[in-house]
Chain A
């Protein structure tokens, strides 16, 4: 079941669209689910579909099409590292290597304690700060070095 907070948020979103086109809010609805649960389970997609009155399959199509929706648990903090050209030239490889070593996980994996997940991301549109990573698709950290990553992780550890 969708929580009351989520339905309230979806209702707010629905006001932006004509009443007979509720499915316009599907992307926002999925985002709300992911913000609350960290990932989107099939059951959640079915709930979103029921709430918006659209086919479950259509929600699934949207959820799988976009890269930033997590279709499996990706830990409390999902770190997404950009691996596109600009970041690669500025050393995203080192970033990944450092994270691999620190967290003991590879791309697409989650630490055993469920705290961190590591993903590969596409260009985040801030190449000036390359190499980049985002935390839960919300907070962007740029000009990464080994020390800076350690600092970010230390801060996240506290949360």
Chain B
């Protein structure tokens, strides 16, 4: 009996029509696929992308070299060396993040007592050599300088949840 039903189903192309009906339905439905790179998805202000080092409005770098980010980093991607600057303050002489190692967990950002190291919304960057993704202090600061307005706005939006 079962064989007979199967025979009629395939003979009358019922399965094909059933499949085609799904295709037909979605043909007229609203599109959800984003046409990257012409189109982009919206981002949360908590997006964790490329790192940046921030400065205070007077131009002073925020980082005080407490090394909490280095200590908390689960991928050991951060390397910091610290020394006393001529004015007696504690400053980093080296602050490197190896983005090849980084897993973008955001712990560094969370552990920072002065909001110096942050993860920006930037996710479009690349390196042609392995070393290109080894970000030094100067690169991170430049990153921060370039996107400070966005970074500050994102921190402000997130402030009430912290």
Q: Do chains A and B touch in the complex (CB under 8 A)?
A: no
